[in-house]
Amino acid sequence: MDFVGSHILSVQQFERADIDRIFTVADMMEPFARRQRVTKVLDGAILGNMFFEPSTRTRVSFGCAFNLLGGEVRETTGIQNSALAKGESLYDTARVLSGYSDIIVMRHPESFSVAEFASASRVPVLNGGDGANEHPSQALLDLYTIRKEVKAAGKGIDNLRIAMIGDLKNGRTVHSLCKLLSLYKNLSITMVAPEELQMQEDVVEMLRTAGHHVYITDKLEESISRVDIAYSTRIQEERFASKEEADRYRGRFRLNQSIYTQYCEPNTVIMHPLPRDSRMDANELDNDLNENPNLAIFRQADNGVNVRMALFAMILDVVDQVEQYARPVNWYTKR
Ligand code: CP
């Protein structure tokens, strides 16, 4: 695809060669993301970081990524703090905000709302998560992390064995990740969820059509016994009619060090898009995994900065100028 000036709304825009290009640029961004170097290639540019639904990582890492490229960030957080709460349409909001920004990242609780917003925007729009639909930049950073984590074992993405665990129905990160994985070869993917929260049928069909082996189960222990990646997800409480309904599923698939030691292979990588629900009744990835070297969740979150820098640089067509505006940092860094 031609990235320059494009919206990023769904991972289905990408072919495998596009992913390779994003990852090459993300690798190039590593010293900037780790604060060893800075660049001013986007000096004067403005990111409109529009988050109409709660976020920690996506909002802040998109903002940091833009700052690290030398640009400025303007934000709004929460529908109640925006004119959407006064009845303004997504169309009007997009027309107005795209007059203030060079590029926009948007998150919104309704599926396909970001595409609706983008259709009225005068600048490129990146989907920061639209309801239960998609989270393209998260899927890119997840796949980038998978690639990095299995490299030490001499593996690539093709032929991997992956378990996806938790609320697969409402988790937009796993929807986007599965669609991306359909571009790869000979994967074995086990979907671990209660029947009511299983992966949607069209996504399973897409994976099977791509030639992957897909297994559906609600048994955690046997599913994680022979996998390269155990990708856990949170029960998406905000997508349920009530907290009580979500409580029925909370804590069903807890992974802790004892279960890991008993069932997982020694190199199984543990991933989670975060936030993990660390409340006692959920504890989906127990704190006793924190010292496990295969717990990749914080490296995964860190990788979001590289990948998001790559997207900005490619869409705003400055990849070839990053070096020209770069210099080492002046301050102490330990990363
Ligand atoms: N992974 C993710 O989307 O996290 P936030 O909700 O904190 O942005």
Q: Determine the residue of 53, 274, 300 to mutate for testing ligand 1's pocket, defined as the one with the most ligand atoms within 8 A of the Cβ atom.
A: 274
Four-way CATH pick for 11-134+301-328: 3.20.20.70, 3.40.50.10490, 3.30.830.10, 3.40.50.1370: 3.40.50.1370
Residue intervals in the chain for CATH 3.40.50.1370: 11-134+301-328, 136-298
Assign residue 274 a region (left: φ > 0; alpha: ψ between -120 and 50; beta: otherwise). left
- Identify the band that residue 335 occupies on the pLDDT scale cut at 50, 70 and 90: low
Whether ligand 1 lies within 6 angstroms of the CB of 131 is answered as no
Q: Is pLDDT of 11 > 80? A: yes
Q: Say whether 142 sits in a helix, a strand or coil.
A: helix
pLDDT in tens, 154-191: 999 999 999 999 999 999 999 999 999 999 999 999 99
- In the prediction, which pLDDT does 110 show? 97
Structure confidence by residue, pLDDT tens digits, 260-272: 999 999 999 999 9
Superfamily of domain 136-298: Aspartate/ornithine carbamoyltransferase (3.40.50.1370)
- When comparing pLDDT for 110 and 152, which is higher? 110
Distance CA 268, CA 214 (A): 19
What is the C-alpha separation between 145 and 131, in angstroms, rounded?
24
Average pLDDT over residues 89-116: 98
Q: Averaged over 293-303, what is the pLDDT? A: 98
Question: Does the pLDDT value for residue 280 go beyond 90?
Answer: no
- How far is residue 210 from each of residues 30, 67, 146, 180, measured CA to CA in Å? 32, 38, 19, 11
Determine whether the shortest distance from the Cβ of 233 to ligand 1 is under 6 A: no
| Distance (Å) from CA 58 to ligand 1 centroid | 5
The per-residue pLDDT for range 240-250, each reduced to its tens digit, is 999 999 999 99
Going from the C-alpha of 322 to that of each of 34, 178, 201, 282, the distances in angstroms are: 15, 32, 42, 43
The finding on whether 138 has its CB within 6 A of some atom of ligand 1 is yes
Q: With a 6 A CB cut-off, is 56 part of the ligand 1 pocket?
A: yes
Tokens in use for 266? Answer: 């020694």
Span 68-88, average pLDDT: 96
Nearest-CA residue for atom 7 of ligand 1: 56
Q: How confident is the model over 317-333, as a mean pLDDT?
A: 95
Q: What are phi and psi of 285, to 5 degrees?
A: -125, 105
Distance CA(8)–CA(27), nearest Å, equals 20
Is the pLDDT at 222 greater than 70, yes or no? yes
pLDDT for 109 equals: 96
pLDDT single digits (tens) 52-70: 999 999 999 999 999 999 9
